[in-house]
Amino acid sequence: MYRKISTIAAIVLLSLSGIAKAQEMNYWLPLDFKVYVGTDDSVVNWNAPGYSERVLPTVNRYKGTDGGYIACYSRNKEGSIYSVGDGIFVMGQIRLQGKYIGKIFHPIGYEGKDISAAQEFKDLCNQTFPATQGAGWAGGDTGGWFGI
The DSSP H or E segment spanning 11 is: helix 7-17
| Prediction pTM value | 0.82
State residue 148's pLDDT score: 84
Partnered with residue 147 across adjacent β-strands are: none
7 has a pLDDT exceeding 60 = no
The closest of 31, 14, 43, 6 to 142, measured between CA atoms, is 43
The closest of 146, 126, 145 to 137, measured between CA atoms, is 126
Dist. CA 28–CA 16, nearest whole Å: 19
**DSSP code of residue 136:** -
Dist. CA 77–CA 135, nearest whole Å: 12
Lowest mean pLDDT, pick from 3-7, 28-32, 56-60, 122-126: 3-7
State residue 9's pLDDT score: 37
Residue 49 CB-density burial (10 A; 0-12 exposed, 13-18 middle, 19+ buried):
exposed
pLDDT digits (tens, 9 = 90+) for 12-26: 333 443 434 444 457
The answer to whether 85 and 119 are in contact (CB under 8 A) is no
SS3 47: coil
In the chain, % of residues over pLDDT 70: 83
